[in-house]
Amino acid sequence: MRETASTTERVLDIERAADPGGELIPLLVRMKLDLAGARLHLADWQTLSECERQALIEAPVGNLAAADAYFSLLQAMLAAAGRAAIDRAQSATAANAAWLGDAEPENVAAICARAGIKVQWQSLERFSRYLLCHAARKHDPALCRAIAAEILPLCSAPARDKYFKTR
């Protein structure tokens, strides 16, 4: 698994369709917040300008220095908006976040099976893993299928077959 940004790291079309105004925190930003050890309230997100939200979507969080920079960027944005400072929480690691681990979590295997999708966990990039863990937490096979459908077109056909196999 690559721990740096990839072509799969983007706001999903299903998110844009469900929230055309961008009022909800995108899953990509949620993942980056986890990596940076930041907890952002929805009201704080909604206070940010569209430009600031886009900056949080685009800012990399591939290593500790980038995570620190992301947290600082968020703090500066919130301060400029007159919002309270946020405390730093524990950053996501393989020890505390299943999507960063080497082994496919049982709940992900179960939701993928219910969705009719076979996943090659070791081959997935971190955002794909994050998304599948999100679908598993929601116990939603339809969401799992929708996520897989969004990620699959980004790969070539042979790569698609390597990462996901529908049953």
Tell me the per-residue pLDDT of 147-163, one tens digit each, with 9 for 90 and over.
Answer: 999 986 544 334 444 44
Instruction: Report the alpha-carbon distance of residue 25 to residue 15 in Å, rounded.
Output: 9
Instruction: Report the alpha-carbon distance of residue 138 to residue 17 in Å, rounded.
Output: 19
Would you say 105 and 98 are in contact if contact means Cβ atoms under 8 Å apart? Answer: yes
Would you say 144 and 132 are in contact if contact means Cβ atoms under 8 Å apart? Answer: yes
Domain ranges in the chain?
13-80, 99-166
Convert 87-113 to b/e letters by CB count within 10 Å (16 or more is b): eeeebbeeeebbbbbeebbeebbebbe
The mean per-residue pLDDT over the stretch 35-50 comes to: 97
For every residue of 105-125, DSSP letters joined together read PHHHHHHHHHHTEEE-GGG--
Q: What is the pLDDT of residues 107-142, one digit of tens each?
A: 999 999 999 998 899 999 999 999 999 999 999 999
pLDDT given at position 118? 87
Q: Is the dihedral of CA 167, 16, 122, 100 positive or negative?
A: negative
Q: Is 130 left (phi over 0), alpha (psi -120 to 50) or beta?
A: alpha
Instruction: Report the alpha-carbon distance of residue 11 to residue 8 in Å, rounded.
Output: 9
Residue 142: enclosing H or E segment and its boundaries?
A: helix 141-151
Q: What is the pLDDT of residues 5-32, one digit of tens each?
A: 555 789 999 999 999 999 999 999 999 9
pLDDT above 90 coverage of the chain, percent: 80
Q: Share the mean pLDDT of the chain.
A: 88
Q: Beta partners for 118?
A: 165
Measured distance between the N- and C-terminal CA atoms of the chain, rounded to whole angstroms = 24
Eight-state DSSP code of residue 162: H
Eight-state DSSP code of residue 2: -
**pLDDT at residue 2 greater than cutoff 50:** no
